[in-house]
Structure 1
Amino acid sequence: MDENLEAIMGLIVNGGNAKSLAFEAIRAAKDGDFDLAEKKLKESDKALSQAHNSQTDMLTKEAQGKHAEVTLLSVHSQDHIMNAITFRDLAGEIVDLYRRLNND
């Protein structure tokens, strides 16, 4: 477990950051600041990329035969990153919607 703790925490921290940044993008778009919204979406993507790197590290170890114990924390980390990915995708759509509404 200790070997995977860094990767697990990377998923949780970066997933949380990605979701928060995506939410900031929605707020910026709601306020009509589309440059800031795009900046926040890009920052969210960067956090997701870092989370993906943590996940890839875990998967690589698993493929090498270094099987990790499945714990509540590891399951939580996977749940966290999947929710962040979904929220980021939805945030992009909401920003686009606000942009369209702003142009009318």
Structure 2
Amino acid sequence: MKMEEMDIVKMIAISGDSKAKAFEALKCLKDKDIARAKELIKESRQLDLEAHNLQTNLISKALMGEEDTKVTLLMVHAQDHYMTSQLARDLIEAMIAIYE
């Protein structure tokens, strides 16, 4: 597996962890544990930042001609995971604010 493919797989895994934290926060919110929900959202945001940094690095390498710019199914899958983790986190974070 090439280095960029390893980064893409890592991006998928991190995004999945982020989404799991966001939905765990939603469960805490349902149980009225707002403090824990906020902690989990913070963790989710940090994971999304990690995924974002991987994404930015991959895009930068492609723009500099260091990586093949061919879009692969794996990269599309990674983008899907990353975007849905961000959306889940944003929506659940807004729900926490409403409950407060």
TM-score under structure 2 normalisation?
0.91
Look up the match of 1:87: 88
Number of residue pairs the alignment of both structures matches: 99
Look up the match of 2:52: 52
TM-score under structure 1 normalisation?
0.87
What's the offset of the Cα at 1:97? Answer: 2.6
RMSD: 1.3
Percentage of pairs with the same residue = 37
| One-letter identity of the residue aligned with 1:70 | V
Aligned ranges for residues 1-104 of structure 1 at < 5 Å? 2-66=2-66, 67-99=68-100
What's the offset of the Cα at 1:11? Answer: 1.4
Q: Deviations over 1:35-71 (max 9, x none)?
A: 1001000000111011011101101101211233321
Whether the 8 Å contact between 1:30 and 1:98 is mirrored in structure 2 is no
Structure 1 spans left out of the alignment, 5+ residues: 100-104
Structure 2 spans left out of the alignment, 5+ residues: none
| One-letter identity of the residue aligned with 2:69 | A
Q: Deviations over 1:74-95 (max 9, x none)?
A: 1100111011111110111122
3-state DSSP class of the match of 1:68? coil
Whether the 8 Å contact between 1:7 and 1:57 is mirrored in structure 2 is no
What's the offset of the Cα at 1:98? Answer: 3.0
* Greater alpha carbon shift after TM alignment, 27-36 vs 3-12: 3-12
